[in-house]
Structure 1
Amino acid sequence: MEAPILDDSSPRAGACRALDVFLFAPATARPLAALRIGLASVLLVQAAVVHAEFFDWFSRDGLFQGDLNRAFGPTFGPRTGDLLAWLSPLGVGEAAALRAIGAAYVVALVMLGLGLFTRAAAALAWFLHWTLMNSAAPLMYGVDQYAHIFLFYAIWVPVGRAASLDALISGASRAPTAGARVGLRIMQIHLCISYFASGVEKATLLDWWNGELIFRALSLPDYRRFDMSWLAQYPALAQLACLATLVVEIGYCVFIWPRRTRRLWLTAVLGLHLGIAVFLGLHFFGIIMCVLNFALFGISPEPRPDQAAFFAGTAPGESSTLTQPGMRRSKAL
């Protein structure tokens, strides 16, 4: 008995085609290149800002070493102390070893930003960033977690395929690839899950519904940048700000995808993070989230018509399967 042939017009077949286009339709690496350059740039600026405290944080007698680090730090992963112990038998002193670690981290970020030996640079930057995170755990917060995650993605995703020295030197084809689409989708979905989880967690707290949380955050000495005491006279304004945050974060996983609402939601989430940077002083967190959102959802990965024709093996102007309904569907996504 022959197996039934799936009707191409059936809902199941249409869903399979849509999923195939969503995940695997060839895409350019432009968003991935923007992510690579933006991420490396933010981390380089962060390194420049904190370099004066480097020895105070990471030396054996530093502020966050010893019992404090064991109490608050992770139980798994490398620390600067481990690297110092490995280098010590080679006759490398503590100060020289720490300088070497810091220099290697900066060089790895520069190479990543330039797209030179991109995968190796991303791997080294990720490992050293992980080491530094584990060695000063009490200071780490959202910016470091997101940087660590997306440095890991940069090892595997073809972030060096566009706007990189690797592509320039090798003369590799700039044709769209399914790998670029898959990598982009994985990181986009990761952001969606992250915002949804954050929004749902906030929604379980009463302070996010009555507006009290944002008023307290703006009044805390560690985060206070402006005198916002006047906000107590307008509780509805604080409540509106909290509710808007919940709507933006929970709705992100839905409204960031359709073209009709993507620009609105992207603008809203960029405004949210810029507000965090300005009013709470979390500059690096706000900036890195803006970089991730703009790179992953603000830059089109869709190939130009001439690129689509080249990838399909047809001359410009000839018919190409990539410009048929499947490609038009991918643009709608």
Structure 2
Amino acid sequence: MRNKTYPGWLFFFRVNMAGFALLHFLAIQPDFDMLYSYKGYIYPDIMDTATDHFSPTLISLQHYVGMPYETLLMICRIAYPLALVSLLLGCCTRLSAILSLFLQLLMLKSIHLYEYGVDGYTTIALFYCCIFPVGYIYSIDNRLRRFIIAPEYGPWLLLLRAHLCIAYFFSGFDKVIGVSWRNGEALWKTLHSHNYYSLFSMDFLVHTPFFLVAGWGTILLEMGYCIGMNIPKVRMWWLGGIVCLHLFIALFMGLFFFSAMMILLNLCAYYTPYIDPERFRKK
């Protein structure tokens, strides 16, 4: 595989991270009132008592702005998707990214008892949109201000890759130090606990080494991520394995948004940087 990288991955990162956050937010709209309002499962002020009181919440912000809770909630409900659309288009990119990150954290910490892995990665992705020059290419800002970005990817791609390498390594390390992943028990429990969504039953594989092999395969994929993804000759194979792993998680555990986020991050880090835009212009 080619080793030369191209800055187009910044455009892919901006559009996909903003688009993903927007779709994720739209997906909770049918249950929005049940999560955030006083008509919901847990009253907002009761939820707020269990926070770390370091991150801002809607309740804490309400005390500063002197605004009714429902009014503030409606403003944030409208402002957050608008900020994400602005980020997606690359309009006032840095400001849109900062506003999106603030509103995402504000709304996430307001219902912190319901958050899980994908919410943390969404926060990380929006933070990277704040510090990466994602508005310097294929954006409204670029059209208006004529930004010039160096052909080299700079430290940003290296930072994204380092983050993924560390995350996958310790995810695999956490699995290998326990016995349940090494004997396949963890995977079996995962597919049979908590009413997880599953495309079809895999009980017929109970007397086969499938769960043992799949457990070790997951460990090796994650712990060897840093090496496999940075060796050009095996990069595409390792990337394919990681994508298949997350597709399995989506289809058999029902974690669709988490899987989509991880696939997009991997494509941003190890696939799109090698796409030469000139190749498409010549066609």
Alpha-carbon separation, structure 2, partners of 1:94 and 1:75 = 18
CA offsets 1:85-135 (integer angstroms, 9 cap, x no match): 3333xxx43322211101111011111111111111110111111111211
Pick from 1, 4, 28: which aligns with 1:50? 28
Can you list the C-alpha shifts for 1:156-196, whole angstroms capped at 9, x where unaligned? 1111111211112222225425xx42111111100100000
What corresponds to 1:18 in structure 2? Answer: none
Q: Distance in 2 between matches of 1:158 and 1:28?
A: 13
Amino acid in the other structure paired with 2:220: V
Query: 2: distance between equivalents of 1:157 and 1:301?
Result: 18
Q: Which residue number corresponds to residue 19 of structure 1? A: none
Q: TM-score, normalised by structure 2?
A: 0.89
Structure number with greater Rg is: 1
Report if the CA contact (8 A) 1:192-1:253 is conserved.
yes
Aligned to 1:159: 134
Task: Provide, for residues 189-209 of structure 1, a one-character-per-residue CA deviation record: whole Å limited to 9, x for no partner.
Answer: 001000001100111111101
Question: Aligned Cα RMSD in Å?
Answer: 2.3
Distance change >3 Å, CA 222–CA 120, structure 1 → 2: farther
Which residue identity is paired with 1:172?
F
Residue pairs, 1:221-260, within 5 angstroms: 221-228=194-201, 230-231=203-204, 233-260=206-233
AA in 2 matched with 1:265: W
**Please, which runs of 5 or more residues in structure 1 have no aligned partner?**
1-21, 306-333
> What is the match of residue 79 of structure 1?
57
Shifted more, 106-115 versus 77-86: the winner is 77-86
Structure 2 residue 116 is matched with structure 1 residue 141: yes
Q: 1:35 to 1:77 in 2, by over 3 A?
A: same
User: Contact 2:8 / 2:275 at 8 angstroms: preserved in 1?
Assistant: no
Tell me if structure 2 keeps the 8 A contact 1:215–1:231: no
After TM superposition, give the deviation of residue 261 of structure 1 in Å: 1.0
Counterpart selection for 1:289 from 262, 269, 280: 262
* CA distance in structure 2 between the aligned counterparts of 1:221 and 1:235, rounded to whole angstroms: 24
Query: Contact conserved, 1:29 with 1:301, CA < 8 A, in 2?
Result: no
Which residue of structure 2 aligns with residue 320 of structure 1?
none
Structure 1 residue 66 and structure 2 residue 45: aligned? yes
Q: Provide the secondary structure at the position in 1 that maps to 2:194.
A: coil
The one-letter code of the counterpart of 2:94 is R
Please give the secondary structure, in 1, of the residue aligned with 2:133.
coil
Q: Which whole-Å CA distance do the structure 1 matches of 2:102 and 2:111 have between them? A: 15
- Whether the aligned pair in 1 keeps the contact of 2:35 and 2:41 (CA below 8 Å) is yes
Letter aligned with residue 199 of structure 1: G
Q: What letter corresponds to residue 45 of structure 1 in structure 2? A: L
Partner Cα distance (2:115, 2:195) in 1 = 15
Q: 1:37 offset after TM fit, Å?
A: 0.7
Contact 2:168–2:223 (8 Å) recurs in 1: yes
Q: Which residue of 2 aligns with 1:112?
A: 87
Q: CA deviation at 1:145?
A: 0.6
2:74 to 80, 92, 99: 99
* CA distance in structure 1 between the partners assigned to 2:208 and 2:47 by the alignment: 40
Matched, 1:278 2:251: yes
Question: Counterpart of 2:179?
Answer: 206
Q: Displacement of 1:273 after TM fit?
A: 0.8
Alpha-carbon distance in structure 2 between the residues aligned to 1:280 and 1:267: 19
Check whether the contact 1:266–1:297 (CA below 8 A) recurs between aligned residues.
yes
**What stretches of structure 2 of length at least 5 have no aligned partner?**
279-283
Indicate the larger mover: 43-52 or 190-199: 43-52
Number of aligned residue pairs: give it.
276
Measured in 1, the distance between the counterparts of 2:261 and 2:185 equals: 27
Is residue 199–residue 251 contact of structure 2 (8 Å, CA) maintained in 1?
no
**2:62–2:72 contact (8 Å) kept in structure 1:** yes
- Match for residue 331 of structure 1? none
Distance in 2, matches of 1:84 and 1:59, equals: 14
3-state SS of 1:228 partner: coil
- Classify 1:118/1:138 alpha carbon distance in 2 versus 1 (closer, same or farther; 3 Å): same
1:231 Cα deviation (Å)?
4.2
**What's the secondary structure of 1:162's corresponding residue?**
coil
Which whole-Å CA distance do the structure 2 matches of 1:235 and 1:219 have between them? Answer: 17
